[in-house]
């Protein structure tokens, strides 16, 4: 077997014959001696005059043992096994549950939101009428914040082996096999909801449980472990109590009630840095032209970008860039203004959007020290509420990028993908000054990296504030249990130990392994 790299023009997908020809060259043998070629990874290379796909391939000669079969996931029947309560059915909770099935524990998922299909009606009400359901929205409900997202499936984590444990299970539950191949895999909201439903059906089939419309509000330690009390949000009403020795808290960065409960109980929490800024929206064709140097063709994927710079000792960077995407309202309570981006699998909208954010450090939060570990959370809430008050609705305060830099209110605004609408406002004054001042310096700087990026055609909308959790639930580095609550495992983004779909899923797997240990 030989692993090698080969490039092919992006104008059409390379065929098996193309791969065999490349393998024969790389392996120094006639094509007839090449038995199998397996593509491992591919990325788009737009640096040269001809845009190419660069592949990493494995070639096997005749007579050699062939490639290993794909790994199998031995989910056990756990009907009578020891239960583990998992609060939150986002990527962390779901992949923790799947790993528990393999390890022989019974996952009991408790989720405040609705199943992935029912959830869509509440999101439509939010976008069309501005009505926020505090338990069912773009962050809450089956699949968590990742379901109606851009579905980007990459992480900066270097443990690629583990990443495949997540991606291969996504494929097992219906995602396109290409996510195993692409350097920047992406699923898209239109496809993700079916994968999430299939995961549920798999967990139920093996004896796990789901309880939707159950918002966990209180936790009590008992001699046998933990008792959770959840408000029943459906027609049953009242409360339901769940008990088990082990509890996984995978409630995401917006599950504020859990932080508040821990704070009231005096259980350990830490304020955590996060990042805050705006969503920048450009016409996708402008980004395509810049990234493909004028060579964009419809067979190419809409171009992505990633930007980072330092301004006055602080990182300013792009976050969650959505090519061919849409801007969406991702508030989780009435009176909040929060934006995020999503896309469908074909990323076919006319717009490219990305969060452009500034890191928030403890020195920015001196006015909030009275809130102790919730200081960053209170700051985040205050900014979100103040942005809502500007328009009195989820209509987004917005400004042309060039006007923002020149501190000028925009006379008019370009069209936007943001359905609830936009209102021209002086974002340069409305955003906290340590954010606005750095953003104003960063945009012209970004133009040096992507020509045409700094343009009056680009729209800035506020506010991008849910980049990661503003609170950490500290845990023992070995057992991953919460420092004040043995048997409780803070997990995923809400715990402050992950950010993004794949890293949250990986954290869910780690927690399951720790429980089994
Ligand atoms: C619009 C949008 C687009 C995004 N795009 C991407 C992307 O393209 N790629 C990427 O990697 N990341 C993306 N993200 C971020 C990603 O979705 C999160 O990092 C990831 O979902 C975190 O996973 P999690 O399981 O830790 O938490 P979450 O996904 O937030 O899940 C937490 C779950 O807990 C439930 N919950 C909360 N409190 C309670 C309670 N008290 N009782 C019961 N249940 C509760 C919630 O309803 C929710 O379902 C996006 C996020 C948003 C909002």
Under 8 Å CB-to-CB from 54, ≥6 apart: which residues?
5, 6, 7, 42, 43, 44, 45
Q: How far is the CA of 168 from the centre of ligand 1 (A)?
A: 20
Q: Whose CA is closest to atom 35 on ligand 1? A: 88
Under 8 Å CB-to-CB from 164, ≥6 apart: which residues?
71, 180
Q: Tell me, what's the pLDDT at 189?
A: 86
Instruction: Measure the CA–CA gap between 189 and 170, rounded to whole angstroms.
Output: 14
Q: Tell me, what's the pLDDT at 48?
A: 81
* Residue of 134, 145, 254 with the most ligand 1 atoms within 8 Å of its CB, for mutation: 145
Residues paired with 314 in a beta bridge: 311
Q: How far is the CA of 229 from the centre of ligand 1 (A)?
A: 22
Atom of ligand 1 nearest to the CA of 466: 53
Q: How far is the CA of 139 from the centre of ligand 1 (A)?
A: 6
Question: Is residue 413 pLDDT above 60, yes or no?
Answer: yes
Q: How far is the CA of 328 from the centre of ligand 1 (A)?
A: 15
Q: What is the DSSP secondary structure assignment for residue 152, as one 8-state letter?
A: B
Question: Is residue 156 pLDDT above 70, yes or no?
Answer: no
Q: How far is the CA of 329 from the centre of ligand 1 (A)?
A: 14
Give the confidence band of 150 by pLDDT, cuts at 50, 70, 90.
confident
Question: Is residue 160 pLDDT above 60, yes or no?
Answer: no
Please write the tens of the pLDDT for every residue from 9-45.
999 889 999 999 999 999 999 999 999 999 999 999 9
What residues does ligand 1 touch, defined as CB less than 6 Å away?
A: 87-93, 110-113, 138-141, 144-146, 149-152, 215-216, 250-252, 255, 257-258, 320, 328, 330, 340, 342, 492-494, 498-502, 504
Whether the Cβ atoms of residue 406 and residue 384 lie closer than 8 Å to each other = no
Q: Tell me, what's the pLDDT at 345?
A: 87
Please write the tens of the pLDDT for every residue from 334-374.
999 999 999 888 899 999 999 999 999 989 999 999 999 99
Q: Tell me, what's the pLDDT at 161?
A: 54
Whether the Cβ atoms of residue 349 and residue 417 lie closer than 8 Å to each other = yes
Whether the Cβ atoms of residue 139 and residue 430 lie closer than 8 Å to each other = no
Q: How far is the CA of 41 from the centre of ligand 1 (A)?
A: 27
Q: Tell me, what's the pLDDT at 154?
A: 79
Please write the tens of the pLDDT for every residue from 309-339.
999 999 999 999 999 999 999 999 999 999 9
Q: How far is CA 253 from the centre of its chain?
A: 11
Q: What angle do CA 208, 213, 217 make, to 5 degrees?
A: 95
Q: Tell me, what's the pLDDT at 159?
A: 57
Q: Whose CA is closest to atom 17 on ligand 1? A: 146
Q: Whose CA is closest to atom 41 on ligand 1? A: 216
Whether the Cβ atoms of residue 497 and residue 475 lie closer than 8 Å to each other = yes
Atom of ligand 1 nearest to the CA of 186: 8
Mean of all residue pLDDT scores within the chain: 95
The pTM (predicted TM-score) of the whole model is 0.96
Q: How far is the CA of 495 from the centre of ligand 1 (A)?
A: 12
Question: How are strands ordered across the β-sheet holding 106-110?
Answer: 209-211, 106-110, 83-87, 246-249, 488-490
Q: Tell me, what's the pLDDT at 336?
A: 96
Q: Whose CA is closest to atom 22 on ligand 1? A: 493
Question: How are strands ordered across the β-sheet holding 274-283?
Answer: 308-311, 314-322, 351-360, 274-283, 459-464, 396-400, 422-424
Whether the Cβ atoms of residue 495 and residue 249 lie closer than 8 Å to each other = yes
Q: Tell me, what's the pLDDT at 149?
A: 81
The CA dihedral of 182, 186, 191, 192, to the nearest 10 degrees, is: 120
Question: Is residue 210 pLDDT above 80, yes or no?
Answer: yes
Q: How far is the CA of 11 from the centre of ligand 1 (A)?
A: 37
Least-confidence region, from 79-83, 259-263, 495-499: 495-499
Instruction: Measure the CA–CA gap between 219 and 230, rounded to whole angstroms.
Output: 9
Q: Whose CA is closest to atom 30 on ligand 1? A: 252
Q: What angle do CA 206, 209, 213 make, to 5 degrees?
A: 150
Write the burial class of residue 448 (CB in 10 Å: 0-12 exposed, 13-18 middle, 19+ buried): exposed
Phi, psi of 98 (to 5 degrees): -65, -40
What percent of the residues of the chain are helix, what percent strand, and what percent coil, each to the nearest 5? 35, 25, 40
Instruction: Measure the CA–CA gap between 279 and 398, rounded to whole angstroms.
Output: 9
Q: Whose CA is closest to atom 5 on ligand 1? A: 149
Atom of ligand 1 nearest to the CA of 113: 47
Q: Whose CA is closest to atom 4 on ligand 1? A: 149
Question: Is residue 134 pLDDT above 60, yes or no?
Answer: yes
Q: Whose CA is closest to atom 13 on ligand 1? A: 500
Write the burial class of residue 68 (CB in 10 Å: 0-12 exposed, 13-18 middle, 19+ buried): exposed
Q: How far is the CA of 261 from the centre of ligand 1 (A)?
A: 19
Which domains are seen in the chain, by residue range?
2-61 (3.30.70), 83-269+471-516 (3.50.50.60), 273-464 (no CATH)
Q: How far is the CA of 254 from the centre of ligand 1 (A)?
A: 8
Instruction: Measure the CA–CA gap between 99 and 395, rounded to whole angstroms.
Output: 41
Q: What is the DSSP secondary structure assignment for residue 158, as one 8-state letter?
A: S
Q: Whose CA is closest to atom 18 on ligand 1? A: 500
Coil, helix or strand at residue 263: helix
Q: How far is the CA of 56 from the centre of ligand 1 (A)?
A: 32
Cis peptide before 331 (omega within 30 of 0): no
Instruction: Measure the CA–CA gap between 54 and 213, rounded to whole angstroms.
Output: 46
Question: Is residue 234 pLDDT above 60, yes or no?
Answer: yes
Q: Tell me, what's the pLDDT at 152?
A: 82
Least-confidence region, from 121-125, 187-191, 198-202, 213-217: 187-191
Residues paired with 244 in a beta bridge: 226
């Amino acid at each position: 077997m030989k692993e090698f790299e080969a490039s092919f023009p992006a104008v059409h997908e390379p065929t098996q014959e193309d791969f065999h020809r490349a393998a024969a060259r790389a392996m120094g043998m006639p094509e007839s001696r090449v038995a199998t070629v397996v593509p491992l990874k591919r990325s788009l290379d737009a640096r040269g005059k001809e845009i190419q796909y660069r592949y990493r391939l494995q070639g096997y000669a005749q007579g050699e043992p062939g490639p290993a079969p794909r790994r199998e996931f031995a989910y056990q029947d756990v009907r009578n096994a020891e239960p583990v309560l998992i609060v939150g059915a986002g990527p962390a909770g779901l992949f923790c549950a799947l790993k528990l099935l393999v390890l022989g524990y019974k996952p009991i998922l408790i989720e405040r939101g609705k199943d992935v299909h029912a959830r869509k009606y509440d999101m439509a009400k939010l976008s069309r009428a501005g009505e926020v359901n505090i338990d069912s929205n773009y962050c809450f409900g089956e699949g968590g914040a990742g379901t109606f997202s851009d579905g980007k499936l990459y992480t900066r984590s270097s443990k690629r082996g583990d990443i495949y444990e997540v991606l291969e299970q996504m494929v097992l539950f219906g995602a396109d096999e290409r996510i195993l191949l692409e350097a920047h895999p992406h699923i898209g909201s239109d496809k993700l909801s079916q994968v999430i439903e299939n995961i549920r059906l798999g967990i139920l089939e093996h004896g796990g449980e789901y309880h939707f419309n159950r918002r966990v509000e209180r936790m009590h330690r008992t001699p046998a472990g933990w008792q959770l009390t959840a408000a029943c949000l459906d027609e049953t009403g009242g409360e339901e109590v769940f008990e088990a020795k082990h509890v996984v808290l995978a409630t995401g960065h917006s599950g504020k009630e859990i932080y508040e409960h821990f704070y009231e109980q005096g259980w350990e929490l830490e304020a955590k840095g996060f990042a805050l800024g705006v969503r920048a929206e450009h016409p996708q064709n402008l980004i395509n032209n810049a990234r493909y140097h004028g060579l964009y063709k419809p067979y190419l994927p809409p171009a992505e970008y990633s930007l980072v710079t330092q301004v006055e000792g602080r990182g300013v960077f792009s976050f969650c860039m959505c090519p061919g995407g849409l801007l969406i309202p991702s508030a989780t309570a009435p009176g909040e203004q929060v934006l995020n981006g999503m896309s469908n699998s074909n990323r076919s909208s006319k717009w490219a959007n990305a969060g452009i954010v500034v890191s928030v450090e403890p020195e920015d939060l001196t006015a909030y020290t009275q809130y102790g570990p919730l200081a960053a959370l209170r700051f985040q809430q205050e900014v979100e509420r103040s942005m809502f008050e500007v328009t009195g609705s989820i209509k987004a305060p917005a400004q042309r990028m060039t006007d923002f830099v020149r501190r000028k209110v925009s006379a008019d605004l370009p069209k936007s993908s943001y359905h609830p609408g936009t209102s021209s406002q002086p974002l340069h004054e409305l955003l906290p000054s340590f954010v606005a001042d750095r953003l104003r310096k960063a945009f012209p700087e970004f133009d040096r990296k992507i020509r045409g990026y700094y343009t009056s055609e680009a729209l800035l909308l506020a506010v991008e504030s849910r980049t990661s959790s503003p609170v950490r639930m500290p845990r023992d580095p070995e057992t991953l249990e919460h420092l004040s609550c043995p048997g409780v495992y803070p997990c995923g983004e809400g715990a402050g130990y992950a950010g993004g779909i794949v890293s949250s899923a990986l954290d869910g797997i780690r927690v399951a392994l720790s429980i089994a240990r």
